[in-house]
Structures are given as C-alpha cells and as structure tokens.
Amino acid sequence: MRIGILGYPQSGKTTLFNVLSRAHAPTGLGAASSGAIQIGTVQVPDPRLEALRDMFEPKKYTPARIEYIDLAGQADSGRNQSALLPQQITSADLILLVVRAFDDPAVHHPEGSVDPMRDVSNFTDELLLKDMAVVEGRIERLKKAKGTGAKEAVEELPLMERLLEALEAGTPLRDIELRPEEEKSVRGYQFITAKPLLVVFNTGDGEAAGAGLVEKYAAGNKVLAVEISGKAEMEIADLEGDEQREFMELLGITSSGLDRVIAASYGLLGVCSFFTVGTDEVRAWTIPDQTPAVEAAGAIHSDLQRGFIRAEVVGGKELLEVGGMSAAKEKNLVRLEGKEYLVQDGDILNIRFSV
C-alpha cells in the first residue's frame, strides 16, 4: 500500500512523514529547496500480530507494510496549476492531505495567515484543476480520433465529457457513480481526485486551535479527516515504551497519530488483514474487505488459489485467548471453510491445497 503526502509548503508534510515512517528527514524552510522525493516504508504496528509472534517465536516476522511518499520543494506546492503531479504521487493508493492548523509565528505561512478551512478548500480545488487538465487533454485527443471514426474514441468521449462536467462543478471523481466498465477505463488515468483522500489537520501541541475542525470539515465532505499534532507526534515517535505512554498521558493523547492515520487509511481503502502463523513465519496480509478465502489464498501464492481445497480458519483473538493452536483445536475453534468464505479482519488462515 502506498500513501502520497500532499499539502502546502510548511504545513508539516515532512514532519508527518517522519512520524509515519519513523524517519528523520530535515523539516522547515531549509529543507524545501531540495526538490527530492522521499519514500519511507514502515511496518504497520499491530498488537495482535505482535502477540502471535510472541506465541510462535517464528524465524521470520513479517508485518504489513505501508510506503509513504513525501515531496520536497516546488513539486509539493499546488500553486503551479498546469504542473502535473509526479508519477510517485499519481500511483499512490491514497492521498494524505496535510493542512496547517497550528499557530506558530516562527513558521512562515505562504498565505500570511493560518486558516485551515481556506487552505483545505483551495488545495482540493487545485487537485480538481489537475484532473481537469488531464481530462481536457484526453477530450481533445479523442475528438481528433473520433473524426477518423475510431471506436474507442466514440465510446470514451461521452464518459470524459461527463468527468469534465463533474470536475467543473467541483465534484471530485471519487464521488461520481461509474459503471464497472467505465471505472475500468477511468482507472488507467490514475486521477488524483478519484483516490481516497484523508485530510490531516496539523494542530498545535495539545491546544484548541484545531478543535472542531474535523467535524466542521467532515460535515460537508465525503472524506475522512483526522487531527494530529505533528510536532508532538514526532517527539512521541522518538520515545519508547513507558516513556512514550507517560508523554502521551501528559498531552492527553490516547492513541498515537500513527495509529490513527493507519486506521483511517485502512478504513478509507476498504482493506483488512489476515494472518498466517507458524514457527517459520508469522505474517500479516492485506486484502480488500469481503475477500473470499480462495482469493485471499491467492494473495499468498497463486498456487494456493489454483489448488485451493479448504481453509483452516481460527480468529486471531480466539487463538490468543486459548494460548495455542492445539488448545484451539481441542476447543473446536478451528473451522474448515470453503472457497466462498469471506475472510474477516484478524483471521488466521492455513490453506489446504493441491496442485
């Protein structure tokens, strides 16, 4: 899974990137001119998987991974409306939009004042414009092709015109109902407004500056928003264990920004995790919600999907409660499920197959 971080300069993108990917990339104005793209890969923290690791003591431990992409310098500014986004961003599965909500006279704001609602609306408008530019270019080409009677052009032109109309009316493409074949033809363009959007309001350290922003924004928009205090989270991320807990208590934070951003991202993407366990490896697999067992098997290996016979399934929670696989079997907690079984978040799967 790949998450692209966008937002105005000095909104706290790199700070958040550091929080999310436990990196120490330079922040602030000095860092802004490098023009580089930073990619950070993090293991998704999952207490269930950690408990399973402690139970099986495997040779190999493989949590789910998320890749975060942060743009430094000019490319991160939406100001240049004709500029297209770098490929790394357009190929992301989800866009994380960082909006400055912290008051700090020491940090320059490109607009001269802190106004999160203005910034989020301006930035999302700029994203609409980026997609509009792509759609307009496509329409132009299709019109030319249509003159020559190309079948593809005849079919695609009305769809593109519909998309343009929606974008001009301020509707992001993710909010448009598309038929499955239309969706397929649209997917290839990797439109930025078609991607799930998570708005992150970067509020000050425990202060009320950001209070109510999430509610206020979410009321009028079909996107998810969370609040986090970038600077405080960066300090939290650098602490361990008890120290981290104590510091969070002090700030009145119950779950770290990292946890909240990951939970919100999984929710927006409509994905969940199942696990495979054993003394060789304890591993998390990310699949779409409502995936049938046979396709979940395919996420592990295509042979397992092709030769699928049955899935042995036990809930991770149940297994941890009884303390081991043999106890789970004794208590009949391990079920045999067929191809159609819809894998649940936290399930432990063992695929029986033959090829």
DSSP state of 121: H
Helix (H, G, I), strand (E, B) or coil at 203: strand
- Strand extents, DSSP E, the chain: 2-6, 37-43, 60-62, 65-71, 94-101, 197-203, 224-228, 271-276, 281-288, 308-315, 335-337, 347-353
- Residues 272-301 close enough to bind Mg ion by CB under 5 A: none
Give CA–CA dist 346/48, Å, rounded: 8
Sole window of 44-52, 176-184, 186-194, 224-232 interacting with ligand GDP (rule: CB under 6 A): 224-232
CB of 232 to ligand GDP, least distance (A): 7
Sole window of 3-11, 82-90, 135-143, 154-162 interacting with ligand GDP (rule: CB under 6 A): 3-11
> Considering the rule CB under 5 A, would residue 14 count as an interface residue with Mg ion?
yes
Contact residue for ligand GDP among 4, 19, 27, 66 (CB under 6 A): 27
Question: The tokens of 84 are what?
Answer: 């297209």
> Considering the rule CB under 6 A, would residue 11 count as an interface residue with ligand GDP?
yes
Contact residue for ligand GDP among 104, 155, 182, 345 (CB under 6 A): 104
Task: Show the CA angle centred on residue 323, arms to residues 50 and 314, nearest 5°.
Answer: 80
CB of 238 to ligand GDP, least distance (A): 14
Sole window of 7-15, 46-54, 192-200, 325-333 interacting with ligand GDP (rule: CB under 6 A): 7-15
Residues 6+ apart with CB under 8 A from 25: 14, 17, 18, 31, 38, 40, 70
Residue with smaller CB distance to ligand GDP, 21 or 229? 229
Give CA–CA dist 35/290, Å, rounded: 40
> Considering the rule CB under 6 A, would residue 21 count as an interface residue with ligand GDP?
no
> Considering the rule CB under 6 A, would residue 204 count as an interface residue with ligand GDP?
yes
Residues 6+ apart with CB under 8 A from 222: 174, 175
> Considering the rule CB under 6 A, would residue 231 count as an interface residue with ligand GDP?
yes
Give CA–CA dist 297/303, Å, rounded: 8
Strands 94-101 and 2-6, bridge-based pairing: parallel
Residues 6+ apart with CB under 8 A from 140: none
Q: Which does 229 bind (CB under 5 to 8 A by kind): ligand GDP, Mg ion, none?
A: ligand GDP
Sole window of 10-18, 130-138, 189-197, 329-337 interacting with Mg ion (rule: CB under 5 A): 10-18
Residue with token string 């770290």: 256
Give CA–CA dist 273/344, Å, rounded: 8
Question: The tokens of 176 are what?
Answer: 């448009």
How many C-beta atoms lie closer than 10 Å to residue 290's C-beta?
10
Q: Which does 107 bind (CB under 5 to 8 A by kind): Mg ion, ligand GDP, none?
A: ligand GDP
Sole window of 83-91, 154-162, 225-233, 243-251 interacting with ligand GDP (rule: CB under 6 A): 225-233
Q: Which does 4 bind (CB under 5 to 8 A by kind): ligand GDP, Mg ion, none?
A: none
Question: The tokens of 250 are what?
Answer: 């002090």
Q: Which does 117 bind (CB under 5 to 8 A by kind): ligand GDP, Mg ion, none?
A: none
Residue with smaller CB distance to ligand GDP, 229 or 273? 229
Sole window of 99-107, 156-164, 267-275, 332-340 interacting with ligand GDP (rule: CB under 6 A): 99-107
CB of 188 to Mg ion, least distance (A): 30
Binding mask 72-101 for Mg ion (x = CB under 5 A): x-----------------------------
Amino acid at 263: A
Residue with smaller CB distance to ligand GDP, 73 or 267? 73
Binding residues for ligand GDP (CB under 6 A): 7, 9-15, 27-28, 31-32, 102, 104, 107, 202, 204, 229-231
Binding residues for Mg ion (CB under 5 A): 13-14, 72
